[in-house]
């Protein structure tokens, strides 16, 4: 009975005990006293926000300590932006070092204010920002007022038309260029005679750390609608429709051989074909250019100039071709417009009981290419093809969308819906597409059941961009069953789209200017592999296969073609032949002379924005 009573009274005491303890704790709490604090502040104003080019502006930089404590080691950094050149500086305390761009103030008492004036010459156009930052050997309680930026806008009205276009090149590249980190903050277009000169300067700024040379030898300017019409619409104009390469003939003379012909072109309709040797131009047999000790063509030799002038700079020309059987073909050609066929040749071959599909795919055009590809792959599927050989030796790229279609046609069923490739862009573009909820990853979308056991790609230095993208996208899904045969590819894991220079897309008046193709994205496959700027080399760990020379003196589908023979041998025996000396002796056509006029690049017509 007593135990029960005691417990009851203890329970009654619990609330009082709780309040006693709480009161005791609060009584012991001590609020620390607030001591002196430092708060550095900087501001920058300019006397003229719209100066003329070659004029001057005066910046007034004000540094303050608005805190309750003195500050030590105070420094204001003002490294003048590109486009501004220092004329004079006047600090009312400390000194300004023009080399480092630092105003060394030293001690700054509480409530103190000091001023620096900087006079600068304006030597660039457009918007030029000047930013100043204050710091000290103290803890600054408020970092929000430690930086100040002021902008000036230099008018473009005094520029010529060509200079305007040069500035437009720079302005657009600031928005879309993959390597914006290498571009200057300001730009003077008066230094360049043409927009091409300006572009050459800007693309030379990003240096490849491995080679010490400019990484961008891809960006270019084109006539309005010229390339976009060829790629998008599958048409060409202003040429004969065939291309050549230089090599040694059976008499050990340097000669020109036809590498490929578009069937509906003037040359194609005249019966010109791959492997034909040019033995006369306009009745002259001066068709054999000289070569120097390094194997490069001599551009001043008669054989060289005759070919260049006739092939690239004449509206009409007559050619005499020598066929592989020794007979000749005379063709008087005039430049014309024609539809381009992407698939130059296709055939189903048998290697024992194995069915092999061989196709020569020359360019990633728009809808016309996609139709050709679908029809060719359907033909292979109908004929039970198990092994596929895709000849890309002269394919310089083209439409990214068509590349995606080809990838899906060739991908195994297990790849459907999985990652094909992803885009890498500059920070501004990445943020833009993210804000628009636009995915920067593309997945396979297979619409057929074709699934080859092995794929062989025949490649060369002319294999570029979208052609390399095709190979790279399929590598993760054909590990151990994808092979490269030929020579190291061009090396272009990046692409672009057409950006108007000097005109607008919606303009109804006659247009003047250019289409700018500045590198705007890089791609990586499902394994995050990319960056093949040095090209893809057959017969290496990364790219299994074998090196082989281009048999330019062989017709398409000739089983004695060195590259095709290697693929067929591997399909038959599971091994490549040991490389031996080529039966055809090649000649260097680069860098002194380049007869490969095919476009090298990949264009995504679906991603075309201008950020302003």
Which of residues 339, 368, 391 is at a domain's end? 339
Residue 67, CA distances (Å) to 61, 103, 282, 365, 440 in order: 19, 20, 88, 66, 48
Residue 119, CA distances (Å) to 49, 84, 98, 147, 149 in order: 13, 9, 12, 20, 16
Does the structure show a pLDDT above 60 at 14? no
Lowest mean pLDDT among 18-32, 94-108, 549-563: 18-32
Q: For the chain, how are helix, strand and coil distributed in percent, rounded to 5?
A: 25, 30, 45
Does the structure show a pLDDT above 60 at 110? yes
Q: Is residue 539 part of a domain?
A: yes
- The secondary structure of residue 262, as a DSSP letter, is -
> What is the torsional sign of CA 436, 502, 339, 491?
negative
Q: Report helix, strand or coil for 238.
A: strand
Find the farthest-apart pair of alpha carbons in the chain and give their distance in angstroms, rounded: 135
Q: In terms of domains, do 347 and 435 share one? A: yes
Q: In terms of domains, do 433 and 471 share one? A: yes
Task: Tell me what the mean pLDDT of segment 434-454 comes to.
Answer: 95
Give the pTM: 0.79
Q: How far apart are CA 608 and CA 515, in angstroms?
A: 12
Q: How far apart are CA 595 and CA 311, in angstroms?
A: 10
The string of pLDDT tens digits covering residues 280-326 is: 999 999 999 998 888 888 989 999 999 999 999 999 999 999 999 99
Predicted pLDDT at 276: 98
Q: What is the CATH number of the domain that holds 112?
A: 2.60.40.740
Q: Is residue 580 part of a domain?
A: no
Predicted pLDDT at 155: 86
Q: In terms of domains, do 392 and 476 share one? A: yes
What residues make up the domain containing 471? 343-493+518-550+557-573
Contact 410, 454 (CB under 8 A): no
Does the structure show a pLDDT above 50 at 600? no
Phi, psi of 422 (to 5 degrees): -130, 150
Predicted pLDDT at 587: 55
Contact 493, 522 (CB under 8 A): yes
If you average pLDDT over every residue of the chain, what do you get? Answer: 88
Q: In terms of domains, do 455 and 329 share one? A: no
Predicted pLDDT at 582: 46
Predicted pLDDT at 232: 64
Task: Tell me what the mean pLDDT of segment 454-472 comes to.
Answer: 96
Q: In terms of domains, do 321 and 352 share one? A: no
- Interior/surface letters 502-520, b for 16+ CB within 10 angstroms, e for the rest: bbeeeeeeeeebbbbbbbb
Q: In terms of domains, do 402 and 533 share one? A: yes
Which residues have CB under 8 Å from 361's CB, separation 6+? 342, 343, 344, 373, 390, 391, 392, 395, 406
Which of residues 339, 365, 385 is at a domain's end? 339
Predicted pLDDT at 81: 87
The string of pLDDT tens digits covering residues 42-52 is: 999 999 999 99
* Percent above pLDDT 90 for the chain: 73
Q: Give the rounded distance of the alpha carbon of 183 from its chain centre.
A: 15
Predicted pLDDT at 185: 83
Q: Is residue 599 part of a domain?
A: no
The string of pLDDT tens digits covering residues 35-44 is: 578 899 999 9
Q: In terms of domains, do 482 and 397 share one? A: yes
Predicted pLDDT at 158: 86
Q: Report helix, strand or coil for 410.
A: helix
Q: In terms of domains, do 330 and 363 share one? A: no
Q: Is residue 268 part of a domain?
A: yes
Residue 334, CA distances (Å) to 260, 264, 311, 319, 591 in order: 18, 13, 10, 11, 29
Q: Is residue 258 part of a domain?
A: yes
CA-nearest of 171, 172, 205 to 188 is: 171
| 3-state SS string for 322-389 | ECCCCCEEEEEEECEEEECCCEEEEEEEEECCEEEEEEEECCECCHHHHHHHHHHHHHHHHCCCCEEE
Which of residues 305, 322, 339 is at a domain's end? 339
CA-nearest of 468, 484, 479 to 548 is: 484
Lateral strand order in the sheet of 328-334: 242-248, 254-261, 277-281, 316-322, 328-334
Q: How far apart are CA 312 and CA 54, in angstroms?
A: 43
Q: Residue 266 burial (CB < 10 Å; 0-12/13-18/19+)?
A: buried
- The secondary structure of residue 543, as a DSSP letter, is S
Q: Is residue 227 part of a domain?
A: no
* Percent above pLDDT 70 for the chain: 87
Q: How many CA atoms lie within 13 A of 203 on its CB side?
A: 19
Q: Is residue 118 part of a domain?
A: yes
The string of pLDDT tens digits covering residues 232-246 is: 677 888 899 999 999
Q: In terms of domains, do 270 and 385 share one? A: no
What is the pairing mode between strands 242-248 and 254-261? antiparallel
Residue 598, CA distances (Å) to 121, 173, 244 in order: 46, 25, 11
Residue 311, CA distances (Å) to 281, 306, 369, 538 in order: 10, 8, 26, 32
In terms of pLDDT, which residue wins out, 470 or 231?
470
Q: What is the CATH number of the domain that holds 289?
A: 2.30.42.10
CA-nearest of 424, 535, 534 to 471 is: 535
Q: In terms of domains, do 115 and 199 share one? A: no
Lowest mean pLDDT among 47-61, 82-96, 214-228, 565-579: 214-228
Contact 463, 399 (CB under 8 A): no
The string of pLDDT tens digits covering residues 126-163 is: 889 999 999 999 888 889 999 999 999 998 888 999 99
Predicted pLDDT at 511: 85
DSSP string, 431-495: HHHHHTT--SEEE----S----SEEEEEE-TT--THHHHHHHHHGGGSTTSEEEEES------EE
Q: What is the CATH number of the domain that holds 534?
A: 3.90.226.10
Task: Tell me what the mean pLDDT of segment 2-18 comes to.
Answer: 46
Number of domains in the chain: 4
Question: Nearest 10 degrees: CA dihedral of 196, 517, 243, 283?
Answer: -30
Q: In terms of domains, do 306 and 185 share one? A: no
Predicted pLDDT at 591: 30
Does the structure show a pLDDT above 80 at 404? yes
CA-nearest of 220, 234, 211 to 534 is: 211
Q: Is residue 578 part of a domain?
A: no
In terms of pLDDT, which residue wins out, 20 or 587?
587
Q: How many CA atoms lie within 13 A of 529 on its CB side?
A: 17
Does the structure show a pLDDT above 60 at 23? no
Does the structure show a pLDDT above 50 at 71? yes
Predicted pLDDT at 138: 84
The string of pLDDT tens digits covering residues 161-209 is: 999 999 999 999 999 999 999 999 888 999 999 999 999 999 999 998 8
Predicted pLDDT at 231: 62
Q: How far apart are CA 396 and CA 469, in angstroms?
A: 11
Does the structure show a pLDDT above 50 at 492? yes
Lowest mean pLDDT among 201-210, 233-242, 259-268, 373-382: 233-242
Q: In terms of domains, do 457 and 566 share one? A: yes
């Amino acid at each position: 009975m007593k135990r029960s009573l005691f417990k009851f009274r203890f329970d009654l005491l619990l609330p009082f005990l709780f309040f006693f303890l709480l009161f005791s704790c609060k009584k012991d709490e001590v609020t620390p006293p607030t001591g002196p604090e430092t708060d550095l502040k900087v501001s920058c104003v300019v006397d003229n926000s719209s100066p003329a080019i070659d004029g001057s502006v005066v910046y007034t930089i004000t540094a303050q300590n608005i805190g309750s404590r003195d500050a030590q080691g105070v420094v204001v950094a003002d490294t003048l932006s590109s486009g501004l050149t220092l004329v004079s500086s006047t600090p009312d305390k400390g000194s300004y070092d023009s080399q480092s761009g630092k105003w060394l103030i030293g001690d700054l008492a509480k409530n103190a204010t000091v001023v620096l004036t900087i006079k600068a010459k304006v030597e660039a156009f457009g918007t030029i920002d000047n930013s100043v930052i204050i710091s000290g050997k103290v803890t600054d309680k408020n970092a929000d007022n430690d930086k100040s930026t002021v902008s000036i806008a230099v008018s473009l009205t005094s520029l010529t038309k060509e200079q305007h276009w040069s500035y437009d090149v720079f302005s657009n590249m600031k928005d879309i260029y993959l390597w914006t980190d290498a571009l200057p903050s300001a730009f003077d277009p008066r230094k360049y005679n043409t927009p091409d000169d300006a572009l050459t300067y800007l693309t030379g700024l990003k240096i490849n750390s491995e080679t010490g040379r400019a990484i961008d030898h891809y960006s270019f300017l084109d006539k309005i609608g010229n390339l976009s019409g060829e790629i998008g619409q599958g048409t060409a104009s202003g040429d004969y429709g065939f291309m050549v390469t230089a090599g040694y003939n059976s008499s050990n003379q340097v000669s020109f051989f036809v590498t490929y012909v578009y069937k509906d072109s003037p040359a194609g309709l005249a019966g010109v074909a791959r492997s034909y040797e040019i033995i006369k131009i306009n009745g002259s047999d001066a068709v054999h250019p000289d070569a120097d000790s390094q194997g490069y063509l001599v551009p001043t030799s008669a054989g060289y100039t005759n070919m260049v002038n006739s092939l690239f700079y004449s509206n009409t020309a007559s050619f005499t071709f020598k066929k592989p059987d020794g007979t000749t073909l005379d063709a008087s050609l005039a430049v014309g417009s024609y539809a381009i066929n992407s698939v130059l040749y296709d055939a189903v071959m048998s290697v024992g009981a194995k069915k092999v599909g061989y196709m020569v795919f020359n360019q990633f055009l728009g809808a016309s290419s996609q139709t050709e590809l679908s029809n060719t792959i359907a033909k292979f599927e109908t004929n039970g093809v198990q092994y596929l050989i895709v000849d890309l030796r002269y394919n310089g790229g083209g439409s990214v969308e068509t590349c995606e279609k080809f990838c899906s046609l060739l991908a195994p069923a297990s790849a459907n819906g999985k990652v094909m490739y992803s885009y890498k862009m500059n920070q501004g573009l990445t943020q833009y597409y993210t804000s628009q909820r636009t995915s920067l990853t593309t997945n396979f979308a297979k619409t057929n059941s074709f699934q080859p056991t092995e794929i062989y790609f025949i490649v060369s230095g002319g294999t570029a961009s979208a052609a390399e993208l095709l190979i790279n996208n399929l590598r993760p899904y054909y590990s151990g069953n994808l092979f490269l045969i030929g020579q190291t590819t061009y090396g272009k894991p990046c692409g672009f789209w057409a950006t108007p220079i000097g005109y607008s897309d919606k303009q109804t008046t006659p247009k003047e200017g250019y289409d700018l193709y500045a590198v705007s994205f890089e791609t990586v496959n499902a394994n995050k592999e990319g960056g093949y700027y040095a090209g893809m080399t057959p017969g290496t760990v990364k790219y299994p296969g074998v090196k082989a020379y281009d048999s330019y003196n062989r017709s398409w589908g000739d089983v004695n073609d060195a590259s095709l023979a290697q693929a067929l041998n591997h399909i038959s025996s599971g091994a490549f032949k040991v490389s031996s000396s080529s039966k055809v002796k090649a000649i260097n056509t680069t860098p002194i002379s380049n007869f490969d006029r095919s476009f090298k690049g990949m264009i995504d017509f679906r991603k075309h924005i201008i950020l302003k």
